[in-house]
Amino acid sequence: MRNVTRSVLPMLLVVLAMTSPVGADMTVYVAGYAVEVPSALQLLVAGFALLGVGRLVRKRKSWSSQARE
């Protein structure tokens, strides 16, 4: 996990700093009001989701290796 934070976190921060190349627009409707979500926030949430998926994959691999023994 330490290697992931050393390599992925700086890249994620660089991408979040450069929001001009990202052309994604998203509108979320909360209680009838439209709220526009900035692209930097979308990238941040997507990055955390990918880290979570990677963690689950590693956990599943460790479970399967323990079941084989």
Quick one: tokens of 49? 């989701």
At 31 the pLDDT is 83
At 15 the pLDDT is 67
Q: How far apart are CA 13 and CA 23, in angstroms?
A: 18
- The answer to whether 19 touches 8, Cβ cutoff 8 Å, is no
Look at the chain and count its residues. Answer: 69
pTM beyond cutoff 0.85 = no
Q: How far apart are CA 69 and CA 50, in angstroms?
A: 29
What are the domain boundaries of the chain? 2-68
- pLDDT tens per residue, range 8-49: 777 777 766 665 555 666 777 878 888 888 877 888 888 888
Under the banding of pLDDT at 50, 70 and 90, the label for residue 4 is low
